[in-house]
Amino acid sequence: MALKNENLHPKIVALAGGVGGAKLAHGLARILPPNHLTVIVNTGDDFVHRGLNISPDLDTVMYTLGEIANPKTGWGIDGDTFQNYEMLERYGAAPWFRLGDRDLATHFLRTEALKNGQTLTQVTHQLSQALGIQQTILPATDDPFATLVDTQEYGRLEFQEYFVKFRWQPTVVGLSYKGEGEAQATNMALDAIHHADLIVICPSNPLLSIEPILRLGGMREAIQSRHVPCIAVSPLIGGKAVKGPAAKLMEELHLDASVKGIAAYYTGLIDGLVMDTADTDAVEELRKVAPALSLIVTQTLMETIEDRERLAGEILKWILEGISL
């Protein structure tokens, strides 16, 4: 399987969730011409909070590509304040989900636009342009769609309850998706897949960030019917997640929480896997169980902007040198 566009700047589509996906998308954005990168973002985390439409993963990607993200947390806006939260505390109505003062502006505008009949795709484009982002950021769907988490301790939780309110500590016994079977991938997202030279599954949580994208009508089929390479970057390093509950969740759902488990999870979707040097000992076994899977072993931890650029550059170089996909 070869690139359709045999030049130094292939058109790349990245599937991304929150912080980890946003970091790699940022690295790609810094080394590619703006019109050669489209980021398709998970919306399974979206919810309504105090009447406001919140899209956490979209905002994380948008703030990161706009270079205003909080560098310490990876989410939110750098230098943001929380005076609204302090006032809510004074009223005795402090919520478990905090929103920054500047961050609120994003949610006000999104909510207003959606109430006025605009799609999530349209308002995301407007917000991105206002932040000076030249790359294309697309919600995976404009339809209602939500990840639900079934837990041992509290029963079924909405995603943000599980992730933020309970700090992803409950034991997960299953996942489901409200809107599955009805929600469709947007035409723009599918069109981006069809015209891509390379599809990259970012190092986002495979169950909570990537799976909700793949569950949308038309998305998995579009990727499976491609004629270009699709590669995944493992979100696990040495069997542990860099951030968040990926490894814990995989174990609770009886999946192999390792780079081998990531390869198995994406079987049938990917041609190549990017894995960390900490997992070098898994290479031989991977070559035995998945001989057709191309592997690149490199440092995948992205602690600095230079790390993001380096990893993105290594992926691009790997592809352009003609790996046997």
Residue 117: per-residue pLDDT: 99
Closest CA to 293 of 269, 257, 314: 269
Residue 7: per-residue pLDDT: 55
pLDDT tens track for 228-249? 999 999 999 999 998 899 999 9
Residue 322: per-residue pLDDT: 66
What token pair was written down for 40? 């398709």
Residue 6: per-residue pLDDT: 45
Closest CA to 32 of 292, 312, 308: 312
Tell me the domain boundaries of the chain. Answer: 12-46+137-320
Residue 280: per-residue pLDDT: 96
Round to the nearest angstrom and report the end-to-end CA distance of the chain.
5
What token pair was written down for 221? 């089929």
Residue 324: per-residue pLDDT: 43
CA–CA dist 62, 104 (Å, integer): 14
Regions of the chain where pLDDT drops below 70: 1-8, 322-325
Residue 11: per-residue pLDDT: 95
Residue 1: per-residue pLDDT: 44
Strand partners of residue 217: 184
The DSSP element (H or E) to which 276 belongs, if any, is strand 272-276
Indicate whether this model's pTM tops 0.85.
yes
Domain 12-46+137-320 sits in CATH at 3.40.50.10680
CA–CA dist 53, 117 (Å, integer): 13
Residue 243: per-residue pLDDT: 86
Strand partners of residue 155: 151
